[in-house]
Amino acid sequence: MIALNRSSAVTWAVGYVLLGLAALAAFAVPLWYAWSVTIFDGRAAILEDDAQRLTEVFHHGGVQGLTAYINARVGMQIAGERTLLLTDERYRHLAGNLAAWPREITGASGANAIMVDLAGQPTHTQLVQTTLPGGYHLLVGRDLSRFLPLERRFTYGLISAVTFLFLVGVTGAILIRRELLARVTGIRQTVAAIMQGDLRHRLPIRRTNDELDTLSQTINGMLDHIEHLIGGISNVSNSIAHDLRTPLAELRSRLEELTLTRPAPAQTFAEVDAAVADVDRVIRIFNALLRLAEIDTGARRSGFVRVDASQVAAEVVEFYEPAAEQKGVAFSFASEGVAAVAGDPVLLAQALSNLIDNSLKCVAEHGAISVHVGHRADGAVEIAVADDGPGITEADRPRATERFFRGDTSRGTPGVGLGLAIVDAVAKLHGGALQLLDNHPGLRAQMVLPVTATRTSR
């Protein structure tokens, strides 16, 4: 409870209780005022009317008449309803149910509310006094005690309303605070666990779709992405450790052998050239990895423009035509006209170039490669490269896009095993996917780019 005064829930609850009290006061104060002033004044007017009537009786019948009238009324009425007193000029009792003139009432006339002794009972009474001709004094009153229960009930009602408000406020504050604290603590613990390095943790989701839930879902989405990126990085680190060692080991042994054997200059320079080629290979792997990392971060998405995939494909096909021709491969290209996507033209060109490159390496002489750009039934743009080469076995297909993975059929061909990984990354960057299918025989690799991506086009 140290954090009580700092808890936002408690602050809110206190605020709402104060607001409730203010509303209650705004309701009760005018009511109380109306009750005590308006009704008191109204009753005073009634009592004055009564006194007026008695004065008329006095004018008609004199002191005897009024005394008889008062005695008759006192004898008839329900006890305590009317308080009447008629005295002479020295305030001596002549008639009425009040034993003596109350000391509190002096002066000429007016309304008072005082305690009087009525038949031995102290009673709260509202009194109006009148002076009659001849010095006689008349007191007309009304017992107020019958309003006491009403006033009491009003007061009790007010008190219980305040108490109720207070209790609800406090309970609400405690409950909200406990609830909020529990969830915030849950989030804090999860985040702490993640900061410790275990990225698999996720914030609890209640499926209530309230604000905290939405926030948690967003944060979880962010964590998914971070985990994916971190996974990519560690994947790459492992791959680097594993796959860069091989060419580096070759390079090292080549150079060490040179220093040991010290061959003739011609052979030495041939070896140095080979060493430079080894280094170039390592650099190529590095460049491909850096390119992959660059694509994976999604940073290139900011440079997306409206691209006609058909045109990009036509240019890449034209670029590869002489190479295919040289190998005697039948190379065909078909497109269904403009296929607009939002994307990076250079990356799309590179991805398609990688696919054609792969096919060119795999197909036999006089094989066939066809490139096709078109729309799918759902409107997505499809860029497909199909060949009649050895293809990728069913078992290898899921792993084919992994970094540095090389299937049995590609062993012995040049390459570092990053081509399809780059194509996959490019397809994902564009919100699409790379699909590897059986071409019976051969491989059909197709990039499917959704049209929804064109929403971001400029």
Partner 1 sequence: MKILVVEDNARVARFVTQGLREAGHTVDHADNGRDGMFSAASEPYDVIVMDRMLPGNIDGLGIIEALRKAGNRTPILILSALAAVDERIRGLRAGGDDYLTKPFAFGELLARVDALGRRSLGQDAERALQVADLRMDLLTRKVTRGSRVIALQPREFKLLEYLMRHANQVVTRTMLLEGVWDYNFDPQTNVVDVHISKLRQKIEHDTERPLVRTVRNAGYMMCEHDRA
Which amino acid is it at 182?
A: A
Which residue has 């060490």 as its token pair? Answer: 256
Segment near partner 1 (CB under 8 A), from 122-130, 220-228, 251-259, 316-324?
316-324
CB closer to partner 1, 179 vs 318: 318
Segment near partner 1 (CB under 8 A), from 21-29, 188-196, 206-214, 319-327?
319-327
153-156 long-range CB contacts below 8 Å, 24 or more apart?
154/31, 154/32, 154/35
Task: Give the nearest distance from C-beta 17 to partner 1 in angstroms.
Answer: 56
User: What residues numbered 234-273 form the site for partner 1, per CB under 8 A?
Assistant: 273
CB closer to partner 1, 28 vs 349: 349
| DSSP β-bridge partners for residue 140 | 84, 128
Task: Give the nearest distance from C-beta 375 to partner 1 in angstroms.
Answer: 26
Task: Give the nearest distance from C-beta 332 to partner 1 in angstroms.
Answer: 18
Burial of 254 (0-12, 13-18, 19+ CB in 10 A): middle
Rounded distance, CA 308 to CA 349, Å? Answer: 11
CB closer to partner 1, 203 vs 360: 360
Q: Using the rule CB under 8 A, is 30 a contact of partner 1?
A: no
Asked whether the beta carbons of 183 and 31 are under 8 A apart, the reply is: no
Task: Give the nearest distance from C-beta 305 to partner 1 in angstroms.
Answer: 14
Task: Give the nearest distance from C-beta 20 to partner 1 in angstroms.
Answer: 58
* Per-residue x/- track, 335-374, partner 1 (CB under 8 A): -----------x--xx--xx--x--xx-------------
CB closer to partner 1, 300 vs 403: 300
Within the chain, how many helices (H) and strands (E) appear? Answer: 9, 12
Task: Give the nearest distance from C-beta 400 to partner 1 in angstroms.
Answer: 16
CB closer to partner 1, 70 vs 422: 422
CB closer to partner 1, 201 vs 291: 291
What's the chain's Rg over C-alpha atoms? 51
Task: Give the nearest distance from C-beta 421 to partner 1 in angstroms.
Answer: 13
# residues contacting partner 1 (CB under 8 A) = 31
CB closer to partner 1, 163 vs 246: 246
Rounded distance, CA 434 to CA 330, Å? Answer: 24
Task: Give the nearest distance from C-beta 222 to partner 1 in angstroms.
Answer: 23
Which residue has 């792993």 as its token pair? Answer: 399
Rounded distance, CA 343 to CA 209, Å? Answer: 34
Task: Give the nearest distance from C-beta 226 to partner 1 in angstroms.
Answer: 20
CB closer to partner 1, 320 vs 404: 320
| DSSP β-bridge partners for residue 434 | 447
User: What residues numbered 266-305 form the site for partner 1, per CB under 8 A?
Assistant: 273, 276, 279-280, 283-284, 287, 290-291, 294, 299-300
Task: Give the nearest distance from C-beta 350 to partner 1 in angstroms.
Answer: 4
User: What residues numbered 381-440 form the site for partner 1, per CB under 8 A?
Assistant: 414-415, 419
> If we measure between CA atoms, which residue out of 137, 118, 126 comes closest to residue 66?
137
CB closer to partner 1, 284 vs 397: 284
CB closer to partner 1, 55 vs 350: 350
Rounded distance, CA 435 to CA 447, Å? Answer: 6
What count of Cα atoms within 13 Å lies in the side-chain half-sphere of residue 31? Answer: 11
> If we measure between CA atoms, which residue out of 406, 399, 451 comes closest to residue 430?
451
Among 135, 298, 322, 379, binds partner 1 (CB under 8 A): 322
Task: Give the nearest distance from C-beta 2 to partner 1 in angstroms.
Answer: 49
Among 90, 208, 326, 394, binds partner 1 (CB under 8 A): 326
227: which 2 tokens? Answer: 């985990």
Rounded distance, CA 126 to CA 252, Å? Answer: 117
Among 319, 338, 364, 379, binds partner 1 (CB under 8 A): 319
Q: What is the DSSP string of 139-186?
A: EEEEE-GGGHHHHHHHHHHHHHHHHHHHHHHHHHHHHHHHHHHHHHHH
Q: What is the DSSP string of 322-341?
A: HHHHHHT-EEEEEE-S--EE
Rounded distance, CA 399 to CA 316, Å? Answer: 26
Site residues (CB under 8 A) for partner 1?
Answer: 273, 276, 279-280, 283-284, 287, 290-291, 294, 299-300, 315, 318-320, 322-323, 325-326, 346, 349-350, 353-354, 357, 360-361, 414-415, 419
